[in-house]
Structure 1
């Protein structure tokens, strides 16, 4: 059995060819798609965060709205770039969204990927400490977030407060019990997957990772997942971790599907560079008739290793079509693979 959700980047463009032409469209359609996905029986509604781009950028109002409109589906991010985040303010926002959703928030965070502007986090008021990189800064922000989400007091109370305080040091409010165990780290390398396991975070692995040995993407990703689980066990954590992978998967069941995705593009892994030094491997997309798709996906080692699969959706094609994409996987593919 696998949890199956969708992952939306929330693209919008004023182009007449787009069904998502404004930021308002992207936000409101994201809520509608989450509601539709829940009605179809999907398990998760996840959103990517990018700054300085015509995409979803401010996750917590959206997550709170989705949480208020749904009752069962997991809501989450994949991922929030921690280079841009004040971890204490983030803990308050995340706590509020999780309480509104009744404890369904799955918070995916990461050191981030190349952004639209040079060192965009500097415009948000952040800079690495001397001798550190922006990735070091992101991991430090993540560690602070993990710490304050424990819900333990750390701030000295004012002896003459406006309102009476509880005894002892004060914690951030609102506190969402259990949210710390629902943090995920988006790891591009095996080393950061191990680091996440040591700190007790779940693992999110996307459609790209550092190319560490030249093997096919899904083989490298499966090895990353196994390294994560080994590090988790070695760290002695009491609970069982979760692991998600994301994929672009389209079951060709009608003429719309064939028109959009039947061209056979992106059926092989590709190699590129995500910065001047990091060679990355980008996983293939899947688009085929359901019976062919089932055979192809059965050979994907990383999907087999993961407990959660996030389907990246082409959100600019509109809510109705994306609900159809999700339903086609749930109905025609997942049962044949034993995911349902």
Structure 2
């Protein structure tokens, strides 16, 4: 199943492009699967987990939440840039800021810290004489919120970090790290959040390129002392069930719960049906964790889907998926395909 990482000249082969789509589709699936169980205690193994809708916020069956909505904005901003979809470009970040603000006006669900940042960014924009906040307003608001609430390290940037990975599949590690970090810091600047996004982002990137799941792939990006801390956190997750990480609104708890859900299903298997069973088991384990279940399952899906591709998501679940801004699964697939078009390997186009 493993493939050598491609070069920019070689481009992405069909399997790699499918796995990129798998990350986005499985993340949205986990989001919708976990949504009705959000804010509840862990679900015991004797009870079924399914895409039933409902919950505290009254989601429709198959409807994704803020996790996927915010990721879509990132993907669309990347697609809109002419510089090989580089999210470090200020115009791309301005578009993200503008669209997140617009989306926030009508959403029933938004993370506490993210909501605080958007409010502060909006106030800052109006004080500066422009009604719609820009990326600079968001970055200033994220720093301000952190200064006032220094212990707050929510999971709201980790849930969308897979979207920041896709433009950098064939870029250098340094470019990928800068892109991931730039999108994270629009709302979250706590060291735990930036490092969690770096680790998960590099794991998603590696899974798309090779079909392997390796959450330690990004550890060299961290300082030596922080690297050891994260090794301990990863090992703790590998020895526990997702439900033990009850503080999963905290970015580290969400990271650990998601990694626990993935490691509990074992190695990536061969065969379509075995892979489907593996993805379902991982997402169900994440949704059973309780509390911030949509985000934990979304994060889980982003990584396991990056290794397995979109067809590992059960077709009945794929058909149910929908959400802001009026998308269904076909629109998500099309968004990824358009984004990756510049890197299609010569002679490998499908269809």
Same fold (TM over 0.5): no
Q: Which has the higher contact order (CA 8 A, sep 6+)?
A: 2
Select the structure that is richer in helix: 2
TM-score (norm. length: structure 2): 0.31
Select the structure that is richer in strand: 1
Bigger CA radius of gyration: 1
TM-score (norm. length: structure 1): 0.32
